[in-house]
Structure 1
Amino acid sequence: MALSSRICYLKCVRNTQKRINLPHEKPVMIGRNEETGITDLHVSRNHLECTADLNNSKVLVKTLGKSHSGCNGYALLQGETYSLKHGDTIEVRLGFHEFDVIFESSSDDEERPAKKQKMDCFKLNSKTSSNTFTKSGKWEEIDGRELLIYTADKCVPQSAIAAFDLDGTIIKTKSGARFPKDPDDWVLNFNNIPQKLQQLHEEDHKIVFFTNQSGLGNDFSKLKGYKGKIEAIIAKLAVPTQVFIATSKSIYRKPAPGMWNVLTEAKNGNVDVDIDKSFFVGDAAGREKNWAPKKNKDHSICDRLFALNLGLKFYTPEEYFLKASSVSHIMPEFDPRVVADETYPQISTDKQEVIIMVGSPGSGKSYFCKSQLLPKGYVLVSRDKLGTWQKCAKMLEDCIQRKQSVVIDNTNPDKDSRQRFIDVAKRNSVACRCFVMTTTHRQAKHNNRFREMTDKSHVAVGDLVLNSYKKGYQEPEMSEGFSEIVKIPFIPKFDKAEHEKLYRMFLLED
């Protein structure tokens, strides 16, 4: 029989002196206002409508705000009405601004604390809690926030890893926009995702999310909002999950293996991962436009390449969650797994000469000069060191006067940039050869990405510079005044075995 009550109020968990009275059958709006003390901009002024029924000792709570609310660790579905009892805890925004529901009896006897009810938002499995799935977990920061890790409570090490991308795989934007407008702009991508993940959990898989989020950087406000978003997603799924978030273009960003390496080497409780029992699901799969009716081209292929780098089975979200058939995809034109084993051509000459190098950043041009030409007595002239082409031309003139052979280690992509030095050599009656790096544009981008990951002292070369070189490139011709044009291949050299292993992985996202 229901307990007859005369008083009902919400008591702030953090400040027990703060109370919000709920009169009998009169709706009270709970939100961002002076009465609640909530100033959180993610909470609207009318976030929850609470109506007390003193006769039956229950409070009807209707969700109105855009940000998810919660009760007893569960996310409340938006636009739904829930019946709460004495002792339940309302989270005005999921995980924040907690208030206990309190009924005080007209009796002088101390009221028994009520057991918190099991909400019907989610179906829980036996490996979470018999009563609730709590939203608590642990956050970690690696390498100055280049990698963030969230580990939910009860997320235990397993040999089988069920790994997923996040955006476009587990969630999508609620607004329909390509990128989320705010931390609350998300919904589950498919309705059966919670059930699928719970089944995997019951079958002794560890659920892990890997996501690239370079937009976070060191923006504290964005970072705080995103952490709240992750916690809300895990609470919605009600499955213990570990989340890896790459916040910059470092070794941790997919398709590079950094996040996976941290998982297997440090964040799986010394339990060896069984690759054959593990898999990865992601939407960046390299599918072309109209891979399904009216579907856009995938924004990249990094998820497929991430799995390929690690030797994991790969599925698209449609293949895994909807049992759809696989569709064709386009692989990158440069495959680092099959870099040809080449040798440098014979380059020696007894005569004084000028060599003009032609090659983009990352083509191996500078390494070739230092390893093959400088030991033979060539003087290196470089704009990187001198600053302007005029200074390079002046140094070239001086070296020729001293009877020295010279190599011009600039990119020299077009005829005009090369002609400046050809004219100096011709004026001094010195032969001029052109050494052209055969490294493709895609391999040069790969090489630059590799250097960024392995050499912190290396100055990053942006895509703008590489694309500008490609756009302005003019193939060298004998008619420019060269005595010979020599093709020079890129030959990678490694100081460490792990560097060679990394180099032979896909590092570019598209």
Structure 2
Amino acid sequence: MKRAAPINDNKPISPPPTKRKIQSTTSSKAVANFFKPASQKDPDKLSWRVVGNSLIIGRYGPSGPLPQGRTTPVKIAAFDLDDTIVSPTGSKWARGAESWMWWDPSVPSRLRSLHDQGYLVTIFSNQGNISLRDGAKKGPKGQQDTASFNNLKAQLGSVLAQLDLPISFYGATTQDRYRKPRTGMWDELLEDYDLQSDGAVDLSQSFYVGDAAGRERSDKRSKDHATSDRDLAANIGISFKTPEEFFLGAQPELYKHVLEPKQWLKTERPSVNNNGHAPASFRKKHKQELVIACGSPGSGKSTYFWHVLEPQGFKRINQDILKSRDRCLRVARDFLAAGESVAVETRKNWIKLAQEFGIPIRCIRFTTPARLCEHNDAVRALNPQLMNPEGRAMLPGIAFRSFLQRLQEPKLDEGFEDITTVDFVFQGSPEQQAVWSKYWVSKFVT
């Protein structure tokens, strides 16, 4: 037997420790609804769908073209999600019902106020960390959602339930037309609410709020990672505010666009003509020539070929089309053997081939800046009907970084007869120019 401890009557008696009270996020209404028969249960307020295995759309509130009582023209208040409406409580990209907090305590009341003022409130968010393609296991009810998608739904379900307002969420998961600053999510919103006709949206009263605004680092925050939120608003034609400006009343800060496409429409950039460089207006000099085009992907080599070289009889050798270097060499050899002039896009192997046939070698150096090349590539890939006759896919960022790392400026002593320097000049119809002038790159890699 254990001996009982002696009792000390003089020692104060401590009360038992109190248990920590955990506050439930489940409302009494939700509990009551849970115990109702299925036929009497309230329908879910939040519905989800996926467009093109790419765009996630969540809609909280009533279905239908427009919330009841709202007439056109409609004022739209659009927001980014992360670091605008919510902030993470742990890892930056963690998702879950309890992984977030309001970016500022005023957020819920401001959003409710906008709704009361007749605004259609929506969220546009780039969600590149959400996978819709992995784990394509099929259960008894069809294909199951991925874990990352389920986590996002849990977080948005919690956020929107606390707001309890009619709100739509649009999340772009891939590098396609939906990703900001491209306007695909805005276009989808207009279609969902039947607002595609002229005058259906009051653009002068609509706005977008987001943190990707191109601001430099301050004592209160780090440098903005991009300008995609500011650029989206500009592409749509609505005003823009940062979260600090909208929710806290802060003064606008200086910002800088990473690339301003319209500047390249206004500025004449004459090509140089020195150190052995030929005049920028390239003209064929000999019956048979081999021309090497030196420039980054997206620098304008294809357009230059169609407008300048092809009319002069040059045959194009392009590895993106022919798919392998060996095939390019075989096709070029056949053209040269038939007496044709050839235009190629790399220097390796081609100088030796031209020397083998005893024909002059000329070089065209395209000077388009790296970020403008990224822009051109995105415009081309995302506008297949208007700007992409060859059906080119968008290139990964490493293609542009790799070119810069490997670039060695061409020199006459390599065997070139001359070097023509070509600066970028946009060429296209007014419709193509209007599309090209918008912002297309979410985040530059160069």
Amino acid of the structure 1 residue aligned with 2:367: T
Take 2:95 and 2:424, find their aligned partners in 1: how far apart are those partners?
Answer: 44
Instruction: Confirm or deny: 8 A CA contact 2:195 2:201 kept in the other structure.
Output: no
Q: Does 1:136 align with 2:72?
A: no
- In the alignment, does 2:98 pair up with 1:184? yes
Q: Is residue 147–residue 252 contact of structure 1 (8 Å, CA) maintained in 2?
A: no
| Secondary structure of the corresponding residue to residue 131 of structure 2 | coil
- Matched letter for residue 163 of structure 1: A
- Amino acid in structure 2 at the alignment position of 1:194: P
8 Å CA contact 2:59, 2:166 repeated in 1: no
Q: 1:253 to 1:388 in 2, by over 3 A?
A: closer
In structure 1, C-alpha distance between the alignment counterparts of 2:118 and 2:321, rounded to whole Å: 58
**1:452 positional shift:** 2.5
8 Å contact kept, 1:137–1:152: yes
Count how many residue pairs are aligned between Structure 1 and Structure 2: 384
2:392 to 445, 458, 476: 458
Does the CA contact (< 8 Å) of 1:148 and 1:247 recur in 2? no
Find the counterpart in structure 2 of residue 380 from structure 1: 316
Matched, 1:479 2:413: yes
1:430 alignment partner, one of 359, 371, 396: 359
Q: Give the structure with the larger strand fraction.
A: 1
Cα distance, 1:145–1:393 mapped onto 2, change above 3 Å: closer
Note if 1:336 corresponds to 2:261.
yes
Contact 1:135 1:234 (C-alpha < 8 Å) held by counterparts:
no
How far has the Cα of 1:397 moved from its partner? 4.6
Task: Supply the distance in 2 between the matched residues of 1:285 and 1:309 (Cα, whole angstroms).
Answer: 14
Which one of 437, 440, 443 corresponds to residue 369 of structure 2? Answer: 440
Q: Which residue matches 1:121?
A: none
Q: In structure 1, how many angstroms separate the alpha carbons of the residues matched to 2:427 and 2:32? A: 61
**Which of these residues, 216, 221, 238, is aligned with residue 288 of structure 1?**
216
Say which SS state the counterpart of residue 153 (structure 1) adopts. Answer: coil
CA–CA distance in structure 1, aligned partners of residues 376 and 172 of structure 2: 21
Q: Distance in 2 between matches of 1:269 and 1:391?
A: 51
Give the TM-score normalised by structure 2: 0.77
Name the aligned partner's letter for residue 213 of structure 1.
Q
Which piece of structure 1 moves more, 301-310 or 372-381?
372-381
Taking the TM superposition and a 5 Å limit, the aligned residue runs for 1:176-255 are 177-180=91-94, 182-218=96-132, 219=134, 220-221=145-146, 222-255=148-181
Q: Secondary structure at the match of 2:349?
A: helix
**Take 1:186 and 1:145, find their aligned partners in 2: how far apart are those partners?**
24
Secondary structure of 1:407's counterpart equals strand
Q: Which residue of 1 aligns with 2:10?
A: none
Q: CA RMSD in A?
A: 3.0
The code of the aligned residue for 2:303 comes to Y
Aligned counterparts of 2:304 and 2:123: Cα–Cα separation in 1: 42
Q: Distance in 1 between matches of 2:75 and 2:183?
A: 18
Q: Return the match for 1:272 from 163, 179, 200.
A: 200
CA distance in 2, matches of 1:147, 1:240: 17
Query: Is the 8 Å Cα contact of residues 97 and 157 (structure 2) preserved in structure 1?
Result: no
5 Å-filtered alignment, 1:487-506, equals 487-492=421-426, 497=431, 499-506=432-439
CA deviation map 1:332-355 (0-9, x unaligned): 1x3122333779824233432110
Distance 1:383 1:145 in 2: 29
1:323 matched to 2:249? The reply is yes
- Please report the TM-score for the alignment, with normalisation by the length of structure 1: 0.68
Q: Give the drift of 1:384.
A: 3.5
In 2: Cα distance, 1:391 partner to 1:261 partner: 42
On the 8 A contact 1:134/1:235 being kept in 2, the answer is: no
How much does 1:396 deviate?
4.1
**Contact 1:378 1:407 (C-alpha < 8 Å) held by counterparts:** yes
5 Å-filtered alignment, 1:55-204, equals 63=22, 68-73=25-30, 89=32, 98-99=34-35, 136-153=45-62, 156=67, 157=70, 159-175=74-90, 177-180=91-94, 182-204=96-118
| Offset of residue 174 of structure 1 | 1.3
Question: Aligned residue for 1:25?
Answer: none
Measured against aligned partners, the alpha-carbon deviations of 1:28-52 in whole angstroms (never above 9, x if no partner) come to xxxxxxxxxxxxxxxxxxxxx9xxx
Deviation at 1:297, TM superposition (A): 1.4
1:307 corresponding residue in structure 2: 233
Q: Distance in 1 between matches of 2:158 and 2:377?
A: 38
The answer on whether the counterparts of 1:135 and 1:235 sit within 8 Å (CA) in structure 2 is no
Deviates more, 1:237-246 or 1:200-209: 237-246
- Which amino acid in the other structure matches residue 219 of structure 2? A
Which letter maps to 2:353?
Answer: V
Cα drift, residue 371 of structure 1: 4.1
Shift in Å, 1:142: 2.5
Q: Note closer, same or farther for the CA distance 1:199–1:469 as it changes in structure 2 (3 Å cut).
A: same
Partner of 2:296 in structure 1? 360
Contact 1:163 1:279 in 2 (8 A): yes
Structure 2: distance between partners of 1:496 and 1:373: 23
Q: Structure 1, residues 241-274: CA drift from partner, whole Å, max 9, x if none?
A: 1222222211111111111122234425567111
Q: Take 2:421 and 2:58, find their aligned partners in 1: how far apart are those partners?
A: 47
Change over 3 Å in CA distance of 1:189–1:268 after alignment to 2: farther
**Contact conserved, 2:76 with 2:119, CA < 8 A, in 1?**
yes
Name the CA distance, whole Å, in 2 between partners of 1:181 and 1:149. Answer: 15
Structure that is richer in helix per residue: 2
**Partner SS for 1:89:** helix
% same residue: 28
